[in-house]
Structure 1
Amino acid sequence: MVLLVDPGNYSTDIAAGASYRFKLLFIVLLSNLFAIFLQSLAIKLGTVSGLNLAEACRAFLPRWLNIILYIFAEIAIIATDIAEVIGFAIALNLLFPKVPLVAGCAISIADVMVILLFYNPDKSMRGLRIFEYFILCLVMGVVICFCIQLSLIQNTSVGEVFKGYLPSKSIVEQQGLYQACGILGATVMPHSLYLGSGIVQPRLREYDVKRGLVPPRPSPSSTSGNQVFEKTYYIPSLEAIQSSLKTSIAELAIALFTFALFVNSAILIVAGASLYKNPDAVDADIFSIHDLLASSISPAAGILFALALLLSGITAGIVCTIAGQMVSEGALNVKMRPWLRRLMTRSISITPSIIIAGAVGRSGLNAALNGSQVALSIVLPFVTAPLIYFTSRNKFMTVRSGPARLQVEGQPTLVTGHRNEGDDVKMRNAWYTTAIAVVIWLIIAIMNVANLVLLGEGQ
């Protein structure tokens, strides 16, 4: 939930509110519904097959297609990290005004130290959990500030706000469509689909281990440096799948449809009520909301906002690292130390951020921040297509009853094994689920194609 108030969400919601008041609340609602549905498919893929999305692409798709999808996944991760670099620089400038934006972008590379201190997948995750809970407390403080800000809104009726959740012609305008794509990318986030398909596996494994349904994992031949290694897949038991699938999806839906929808709506509503039709509305950005909170509530509210933005951006960087590891290990079978993976990603994303901050300044960073979220939206059709394909076919969504298994990549019984057909439990999507998935995919694809066409025409 911490990542629901990352710089990308702030920037796109603020821009939408300042430009179109409440009219793009419909896109906030639609994006959250899309995120719930697509993340549910990702959870289903990881739960039923025991593979995350990158591993499934490597196992079941032609090599050339797997490489193409891997490239798009890396583009999404870098675009996300560019947003975190910019958010870090802005937050640092808000907390310490004497630190220029260029320096803030450069200093952001120091978050590699956070990876070294808090994230080590081979050891206890307690340090990372404590760090996450601390940031969550800050985020909840910011949410309270926005609740106060909502209560201070004047000359706006509840009906006018709720009308924003209905479709509006503003969505099909060039600027409205651009901002709608940005909200979509910031909410769904392609790399989160890879992450969602992978993070369900520890719960499955814990269930099987407690009940003695899984054999011990063989020790890797080597764990140092970058290497190509023999991949062993964990195939969960049917009991674990049936126990965990509905619970995981329910937790996701509750988190996204309550906390995420409220936070993103609150940001847009505050921006729409306070900045719409203002002389500075065109340049509305994260600085604008910080100044609003600091002046209308208290300076402490502005500091809390900036601190939460700073640390949630660092947490988002850790998530990028975890997702990046899943993508590279799953798609290419290449293992890399977390801090090195973080350093490589940040080194790539920091360069354009520094150039933009130095050449254009605050307005350039704001445009780049919104543009990075649009880039995430453009990548979405490429990431979601294989997800829909895998979860819609019994070939990949068939489970064998009995205990869990560990399967070495390359052996002929990777997922299905040798068994009687009577032992099979087919768990592919229902026809209506597949139909909804295809409709969602078409909507996302059409939105992005139309946006690119309008941008190409210079409208």
Structure 2
Amino acid sequence: MSALSESPFLNSWYKLKKFAAFIGPGIIISVAFADAGNYSTAVSAGGMFEYKLLFIIFLSNIFAVILQCLCIKLGTITGLDLAEMCRLHLPYHLNLFMYVCAELAIIATDLAEVVGTAIALEILFGIPLVYGVIITVLDVLIVLMAYHKDGSMKQTRVFEIVVSVLVFATCLCFILELFKCDFKDGSVGDIFKGFLPFNREIYKDANALFLSCGIVGSTVMPHSLYLGSSLVNSRLKDYDIKHGFLRQQVNEDGLLEENSSIVTTEQPLEATHNKFRSISDGTLLARKYKPSYPAIKHCLNYSYIELCISLLLIAVFINSAILIVAGCTLYGKPDAEDADLLSIYEMLSYYISPAAGLIFALSMLFSGQSAGIVCTMAGQIISEGFINWTLQPWIRRIITRVLAIVPVVIVILALGREGVSKIMNTSQVILSFILPVVSAPLIWFTCSKKLMTVYDYQPSNPNPDENSLLLNHSGEQRAIPSESNNNVRKITFENGTALTVGSIISWLIITFLNVYLIYLFSIGVQV
């Protein structure tokens, strides 16, 4: 290799080009942290406490980064998403309970997306809320026609681009909104102080603690955990196919074709048989693609970096911008404390300008559409991962969305505009209860040395004979090392001490805040 090819400039350029290929999943995940539920809690926080709760937004995103890093690790090392891991390794009844919780989380999340989009349609086009809710079915139909969770890299990139465009449109709306705000002298310093955890007065205020719970509950969304563990799969498969580790592509169901083989990675025969016996429902999960060690080595760190940058830039910016706009415009104003999404639009139009209200409505439309698409993707991952459905995918996805839309229509018809606020609060309670439940298996799986183990085999003979080939748990042939072969390495990726402690502490804090939020809702306190 020449000195030129080893230059720091070319090396940096190669790494930057490689990183660009990983941009996408983190942006999609960040959508889950910028939906109508976030709008409601962030605006209330800004209207009541100005910029003082910005630290809670930053902290909640740190929790999200920790959990999403665990999701990336789980999907990268095992080749399975969180729902599939629950189905493969949890007892039947516990898996069924987890599935019910996950589906409830999807329905509750859909409620917020449906309401936010419907309100935006009413503001922008004068469409009544009920009709706006029904129109939101269209985004699901588009996703159903185009998306497959085990699809090709090209298909995945198309979805990432579509969602990214909507996300950046949302960011642009809030950039314009910030420029329209009339900040007072010293406001910039107050904004930076808001990101620091040194304001003791806030922690003594019951309303501030309540809103902190709401911010955490609406930021670390349960469905994003299933989504984050699934999105990494396409790039891993793409690497293995291009480098010959996966001799034939997986079929449209994400399963290895009957003659495909992987020659770089394998578990010992005993472990393989035990894994086969653990699949009591006769599903084909064990036939799913498992990444090779070279693919893991190529993708894992870049996936971490892309996720952290996306969440800490996009998700933190959007949520912070909502709170800053509300703090600048609504703080100290009458009725700001009880503002819902429609009244927020009205107050922005009145206190700043009609254009500011219009931009806010556009941001809700863009975020609602992107979040609706992402929620539909997560719903597909959950339904296909937990349960061996016999229904066609498009049928079960339509059923999930209808279950979310029907309650919204009934409540709007019965209670009108007041019902919109109530159903938003209800969805937050449901998500707050479910989050600790669905995140616990994620931490347990990634702390398990047994589950987070990869076998890297570098065959000395590039054309192994029949004696060096054994059938794996699904009947495909894989080259595995004999007892006398020393060219096999066992690499473990279980969580280290720091990550284990950090994830458990995050789980405990999230659980405490969400339980406290449920308690506050039970005694009648509302955002």
TM-score by shorter chain over 0.5: yes
**1:108–1:398 CA distance, 2 compared to 1 (3 A):** same
**1:379–1:222 CA distance, 2 compared to 1 (3 A):** closer
- Alignment partner, residue 272 of structure 1: 327
Contact 1:321-1:342 at 8 Å conserved across structures: yes
**1:304–1:455 CA distance, 2 compared to 1 (3 A):** closer
Q: Does residue 81 of structure 1 match 2:110?
A: yes
Write the distance in 2 (CA, Å) between the matches of 1:182 and 1:119.
Answer: 32
Q: Does residue 322 of structure 1 match 2:377?
A: yes
Q: Does residue 191 of structure 1 match 2:223?
A: yes
- Alignment partner, residue 135 of structure 1: 166
Amino acid at match of 1:256: L
- Partner of residue 104 from structure 1, selected from 132, 155, 158: 132
- Partner of residue 318 from structure 2, selected from 259, 263, 267: 263
Amino acid at match of 2:170: V
Q: Does residue 113 of structure 1 match 2:145?
A: no
CA displacement 1:272-310 (0-9 Å, x = unmatched): 222123211133233344345545666455444423422
TM-score under structure 2 normalisation? 0.77
Give the CA deviation at 1:271: 0.8
Secondary structure of the 1:10 match is helix
Between 135-144 and 394-403, report the one with greater CA deviation: 135-144
Write the distance in 2 (CA, Å) between the matches of 1:418 and 1:364.
Answer: 66
CA displacement 1:420-447 (0-9 Å, x = unmatched): 8962111111112111111111111111
Q: Does residue 147 of structure 1 match 2:147?
A: no
Write the distance in 2 (CA, Å) between the matches of 1:397 and 1:49.
Answer: 7
CA displacement 1:166-201 (0-9 Å, x = unmatched): 265545755434432322232221111111111101
Structure 1: 5+ residue stretches without partners: none
Amino acid at match of 2:217: G
- Alignment partner, residue 390 of structure 1: 445
Contact 1:142-1:301 at 8 Å conserved across structures: no
Give the CA deviation at 1:389: 0.6
Amino acid at match of 2:387: L
Q: Does residue 159 of structure 1 match 2:189?
A: yes
Q: Does residue 33 of structure 1 match 2:62?
A: yes
Amino acid at match of 2:78: S
- Partner of residue 365 from structure 1, selected from 420, 436, 441: 420
Q: Does residue 95 of structure 1 match 2:161?
A: no
Contact 2:167-2:366 at 8 Å conserved across structures: no
Give the CA deviation at 1:353: 1.1
Contact 2:254-2:288 at 8 Å conserved across structures: no
**1:417–1:83 CA distance, 2 compared to 1 (3 A):** farther
How many residues are matched? 453
| Larger Rg, first or second structure (1 or 2) | 2
Write the distance in 2 (CA, Å) between the matches of 1:417 and 1:95.
Answer: 64
Identity of aligned residues (%): 44
Give the CA deviation at 1:359: 2.8
Higher relative contact order, structure no. (Cα contacts within 8 Å, ≥ 6 residues apart): 1
Contact 1:32-1:257 at 8 Å conserved across structures: yes
Give the CA deviation at 1:40: 0.3
- Alignment partner, residue 22 of structure 2: none
Secondary structure of the 1:401 match is strand
Write the distance in 2 (CA, Å) between the matches of 1:172 and 1:202.
Answer: 47
- Alignment partner, residue 368 of structure 2: 313
Write the distance in 2 (CA, Å) between the matches of 1:145 and 1:406.
Answer: 61
- Partner of residue 437 from structure 1, selected from 498, 503, 508: 503
- Partner of residue 57 from structure 1, selected from 65, 86, 89: 86
**1:117–1:234 CA distance, 2 compared to 1 (3 A):** closer
Contact 1:8-1:186 at 8 Å conserved across structures: yes
Between 176-185 and 48-57, report the one with greater CA deviation: 176-185
Give the CA deviation at 1:155: 5.2
Write the distance in 2 (CA, Å) between the matches of 1:212 and 1:365.
Answer: 54
Write the distance in 1 (CA, Å) between the matches of 2:445 and 2:380.
Answer: 21
**1:301–1:157 CA distance, 2 compared to 1 (3 A):** closer
Write the distance in 1 (CA, Å) between the matches of 2:361 and 2:394.
Answer: 25
Contact 2:213-2:516 at 8 Å conserved across structures: no
Give the CA deviation at 1:77: 0.7
- Alignment partner, residue 230 of structure 1: 284
Contact 1:217-1:406 at 8 Å conserved across structures: no
Contact 2:134-2:405 at 8 Å conserved across structures: yes
Q: Does residue 240 of structure 1 match 2:268?
A: no
CA displacement 1:87-132 (0-9 Å, x = unmatched): 12101111123x2222322332333332255435657637645643
- Alignment partner, residue 452 of structure 1: 518
Write the distance in 2 (CA, Å) between the matches of 1:209 and 1:305.
Answer: 44
**1:362–1:215 CA distance, 2 compared to 1 (3 A):** same
- Alignment partner, residue 21 of structure 1: 50
TM-score under structure 1 normalisation? 0.87
Contact 1:74-1:324 at 8 Å conserved across structures: yes
